[in-house]
Structure 1
Amino acid sequence: MGKKRAPTLAPGDGRKRDWASIRSHLDIEWLTEHSDCQQGRDGDQVAFRHKGFIAELPEGKTTDGQGRPIQVGMQMDSNIDQKTKEDKPLEFTFGTPRLIVGLEAVLREMCTGEKLRAKIPGPLAYNTRAGFLPYDTAVLYEVELVSVTRGDGTVPTEAPQLKMESSKGPVSGDNWLLALVLVFLLAMVAAGAFFLRSSEKKVTTKESKKESKKDKKKR
């Protein structure tokens, strides 16, 4: 009998997490392991290095969501900056909606200095992220936990943001407020300029009429 299919879970979907159950759907190979590890909980902040690879593709799928060719074994994720090539560990707080659920489950079991490989099925990986990898693509992550800062067991609250895709990335609510203020100021300046031009025209018209009356009287 095959392994039961993993539930489809998305970061930030609001569903309660049964981390032990989620863990049962992952295939983990420990490369470096400590025996006295405290399991991570909500609010803990971790820094980790990682590399992500395509582990399994659905039958007949050979391209990603952008139409680019893909194959098993291809790397598709890393903490290495593609432009600067800087090896900067990724920071993450447990309970916040940033990582795929399978990867968060892995990190919750790790101690500082531990390394592992984890195969994550599509429902706990990128099935809920349209346009990235084909539906039901399994991924393999190599992970090294660099540091752990223990929290108080609660998830930090973040101010809600209004996000809009743009060429420069997401635009926050604060930036939108600033933009609205600038638009208002520009409108005030434009209105002032229009009023000034109108006033000048009225003055010019009155002066022209006075000059006309004077000319008539002289005649």
Structure 2
Amino acid sequence: MQSGMMWRLVSCVVCVFLGWQLGSVWAGAAGAAEPQDQVQIQVLFRPEECSRKSKKGDLINAHYDGFLEKDGSQFYCSRSDKQGHPQWFVLGVGQVIRGLDVGMMDMCAGEKRKVTVPSELAFGPTGKGPVPPNATVVFEVEVLSVSRGPRSMEAFGQIDLDKDRSLTKAEVTQSLPPFSNHSFSKRFELLKRN
């Protein structure tokens, strides 16, 4: 009799514990927002004509300026004297913070957006440089071009000559020799044929 009661008691405790654990997991899963739901996107300008929208794997050339949401102070500017040029990167593969990968999807060349990124999709609990830990950041983004990206990460690795996980204009030009010896219009014709 005593072992039967003990068995029922243990069974009840185990059931209560499992129910509590599963309830926590389900509640967490139900309350957890997808990354695209956490990033706030405000379109500032969209061109009337858009022949190609950015998608994962596309090669993007963009200017972006980063600000702290808390006080509006700027921590990055691709137009500054120090950086001085738009940035090349492959979208959706982690070459920029995850929030920018999300916030720059479906953009057209010439489009401008304000992208607000929560800490967990930006620089997280450690921060980086002038960005303090757990900071929400805001980027003003202008996409200059969207083109088909490298067919694989191996190809990207071959183009990224200095292995800094971003592409410079020089790296792209050097890695695509047929383009370096032609005028812009001839380059465009080569692109249309390929």
TM-score interval for Structure 1 and Structure 2 normalised by the shorter chain: 0.5 to 0.7
Counterpart-to-counterpart distance in 1, 2:124 and 2:54: 25
Equivalent in 92, 108, 111 of residue 111 of structure 1: 108
Check whether the contact 1:49–1:89 (CA below 8 A) recurs between aligned residues.
yes
Distance change >3 Å, CA 24–CA 34, structure 1 → 2: farther
Structure 1 residues 126 and 156: alpha-carbon distance in aligned structure 2, compared to 1, 3 A threshold: same
| 1:199-210 correspondence runs (5 A) | none
Gaps of 5+ in 1: 7-20, 57-71, 164-219
The structure-2 alpha-carbon separation of the partners of 1:137 and 1:91, relative to structure 1 and needing over 3 Å to count, comes to: same
- Structure 2 unpaired stretches of 5+: 1-30, 164-194
Separation in structure 1 between the aligned mates of residue 38 and residue 139 of structure 2, nearest angstrom: 14
Higher RCO (C-alpha under 8 Å, 6+ residues apart): 1
Number of residues of Structure 1 aligned to a counterpart in Structure 2 = 127
Say if 1:122 and 1:28 are closer, same or farther in 2 by CA, change over 3 A: same
- Cα drift, residue 130 of structure 1: 4.7
Higher Cα Rg, which structure? 1
Q: TM-score when scaled to structure 1? A: 0.50
Alignment of 1:117-136 (within 5 A): 117-127=114-124, 130-132=127-129, 133-136=131-134
For 2:51 and 2:103, the matched residues in 1 are separated by 13
Of 136, 147, 150, 1:149 maps to 147
The Cα of 1:27 is off from its aligned counterpart by 1.5
Structure with more helix by fraction: 2
Query: 1:147 deviation in Å?
Result: 0.5
TM-score normalized by the length of structure 2: 0.55
- Residues 135 and 40 from structure 1, CA distance in 2 versus in 1: closer, same or farther, beyond 3 angstroms? same
Q: Answer yes or no: is the 8 Å Cα contact 1:37–1:110 preserved in 2.
A: no
What per-residue deviation string (whole Å, max 9, x for no partner) do you get for residues 83-126 of structure 1?
3x73x111111244320011111222211111111111000111
Instruction: Specify the alignment match of 1:73 in structure 2.
Output: 72
Percent of aligned pairs sharing the same letter? 27
